Amino acid sequence: MRVLLCLLIVSSLIGFQLTSVCHVQADDVTALIVQLRESKDIYQRRKAAKALGEIEARPREMMLEVASALMAELGNYPKDDSLRYYIEESLKRVRFSTEDAFDVWVNNHSVWVENWLGEASVPLLCELLNKPHNLGNRHDSFLRDRTARALIGLGPSMPNVAVPALIKALKNRAFGAQGDDFSREFHSQVAFALGAIGEPAIADLLNLLRDENRDDYACYYASTALMVMDPPPVTIVPELLDILENGDRHNQWAVVEVLQVIGEPAKAAVPLLIDLLSDNSPSYLHFSKLGVVRALGAMGPAAEAAVPALTEVLDDPRPHSDFEVDLIRANVIDALGEIGPAAQVALPKIAEALNDNNIMVRAAAVSASGKLNAPLSASKIIELCYDEDWGLPQQALMALANLPDPFDNIMSASNSPTLNEASVLAQRDHARPALLDGLTSPRQEVRLMAAMAFSQMNPVPKEAVNLLIKALSSDTKTVMWAAHALVRIGTQQALDAVFALLKDKDPSVRFAGARALADLEAPPRDATEPLGDKYESVHRNAVIALRKMGTAEAIKAVDRVELGLK
């Protein structure tokens, strides 16, 4: 009896202690949540956000409260980058059942943290994806859009469960009702999710392309899903040809869109595409013809047999407006250029297009002339294609880059260096000698163009290291791009030169160094020098670089400054 009494007393004391501990823990959590929401000290708010993610396994109700508080605060869109970072990191560490995580996510609909949900949530996401439509309920539309995005984020690991639900959502016209702000975006996201899944979704998508229910809406988005697959589904070409030959207009148009992406492996479609190209019936809309033209161009030399039909379209495109005439003619000329030597018979027509009133048509003619061995001088290309408001079209830039002295050609046509121009130069090996010389040019715009071009090369040639280092003593814009090129080279000499920028007296130079390091996927060494810099942009990029490093020392350095620790 005494033993039993003692056991009862001991168990009561233990129970009291456990209750007290849980009560204290609950109070601590509540205090942290209040600190996160209400403190006027940003260091205290960051500390609270970080601490909430470090709580050990606790009662379900407590963890739900923690997750809801973190998501609610994230929904307030905090301006402080570090506070947002600590909240998001804490959310990743909060763990409880899939159903509870899903409920918290749904009830905090203003927050985009889909990656918080794991693969186990897919069945629930699929159920939510096809929730009955409530027209005018913005929350329903927003939630469906977020659900599709969440499935995209989970990638191809959940096809067997997700495909039927995604197909069902794609076919549901109610979700596309007029007045729903998210309808078009939603269906696009569903199509991209199916594209991300890949092969397991192909059979269902082909059924939609066949479109037995004559639903051109679902047919269009099915073609979108097939187009975004990586790699393009070459194995479905025979079935696409069958649909192209036997389908209705909207079936054919959807298939043509997919053929554009597949390109040369779909060359068996050329005869059918020629037949469609020659169809001038009123029901054959201009955008259908435009798609056929682009598909033939994507097949390159394999579309040689289409040259006569394409040339005929130049004379009689039969669209509905002047813009449509210009758009079709420009794309026909582009397609002839892609087909190559077999299209040289069309050079007289292309030469006429060099004097067209529309710059889009002239630019296409310039590009095709070069591809068909009828090159123009750089000065003539600039004369034909230069637009005071927009500079040079892409086709003209490419044509200039293919001529001798591409760097000088493009510089002579450029009001000020652009990243697009630099990217074109970066792809031309014969431009490299001039780019190397340009790094030490007395002209600022020349140095800038050269530095931008080297930053876009992959890989950046190591022979440029010394000249890029010299460019770091140039103007601020050139320093920015030269630093990006140097960190991508990654040699010790190149990195030392970039890290030296972090100690410069000029904050814009320090920013250039910190930004270059932050843009790397994995910065190669500690970059603590600019932490605590009074210039916020320098500090922020240094923090990004350190977090990407992920080493214990780097994280400790960030926490010390960002959390106000000693």
- Output the DSSP codes for 257-292: HHHHHH-GGGGGGHHHHHHHHT---TTS-HHHHHHH
Question: Tokens 């005071």 appear where?
Answer: 388
Q: Which DSSP letter does residue 200 get?
A: G
* pLDDT greater than 50 at residue 179: no
Confidence of residue 24 (pLDDT cuts 50, 70, 90): very low
Q: What is the pLDDT of residues 450-477, one digit of tens each?
A: 999 999 999 999 999 999 999 999 999 9
- Joined together, the tokens standing for residue 285 give 């809309």
* pLDDT greater than 70 at residue 14: no
pLDDT at 174: 67
Confidence of residue 213 (pLDDT cuts 50, 70, 90): low
**Chain-wide mean pLDDT for the chain?**
86
Q: What is the mean pLDDT of residues 469-498?
A: 93
Q: Identify the CA nearest to 295 among candidates 243, 257, 338.
A: 257
Rounded CA separation 543/549 (Å):
10
pLDDT at 66: 92
Q: What is the pLDDT of residues 334-352, one digit of tens each?
A: 999 999 999 999 999 999 9
* pLDDT greater than 70 at residue 285: no
Torsion angles phi and psi, residue 445, rounded to 5:
-65, -30
Confidence of residue 435 (pLDDT cuts 50, 70, 90): very high
Helix (H, G, I), strand (E, B) or coil at 546: helix
Rounded CA separation 272/544 (Å):
53
Best mean pLDDT range from 70-84, 165-179, 282-296: 70-84
Residue 391 contacts residue 418 (beta carbons within 8 Å): yes
Rounded CA separation 132/175 (Å):
9
Residue 99 contacts residue 63 (beta carbons within 8 Å): no
* pLDDT greater than 70 at residue 9: no
**Residue 484 carries which side chain, given as an amino acid letter?**
H
Residue 500 contacts residue 526 (beta carbons within 8 Å): no
Residue 253 contacts residue 224 (beta carbons within 8 Å): no
* pLDDT greater than 50 at residue 416: yes
Residue 435 contacts residue 421 (beta carbons within 8 Å): no
pTM: 0.82
Q: What is the mean pLDDT of residues 406-430?
A: 93
Which residues does 536 contact at the CB level (< 8 Å), separation at least 6? none
Confidence of residue 26 (pLDDT cuts 50, 70, 90): low
Which residues does 253 contact at the CB level (< 8 Å), separation at least 6? 285, 287, 288, 291
pLDDT at 117: 83
Rounded CA separation 207/219 (Å):
9
* pLDDT greater than 90 at residue 280: no
Which residues does 69 contact at the CB level (< 8 Å), separation at least 6? 33, 36, 37, 52
Residue 527 contacts residue 545 (beta carbons within 8 Å): yes
Confidence of residue 110 (pLDDT cuts 50, 70, 90): confident
Torsion of CA 543, 545, 548, 549, to 10 degrees: -110
* pLDDT greater than 80 at residue 216: no
pLDDT at 532: 81
Q: What is the pLDDT of residues 512-553, one digit of tens each?
A: 999 999 988 777 666 666 778 889 899 899 888 888 888 888
Q: What is the mean pLDDT of residues 444-453?
A: 96
pLDDT at 218: 83
Residue 559 contacts residue 82 (beta carbons within 8 Å): no
> Would you say the C-alpha torsion 143, 146, 148, 150 has a positive or negative sign?
negative
Confidence of residue 22 (pLDDT cuts 50, 70, 90): very low
Rounded CA separation 45/37 (Å):
7
Work out the percent of the chain whose per-residue pLDDT is above 70: 87
pLDDT at 524: 67
pLDDT at 4: 43
Question: Tokens 């880059």 appear where?
Answer: 401
pLDDT at 127: 86
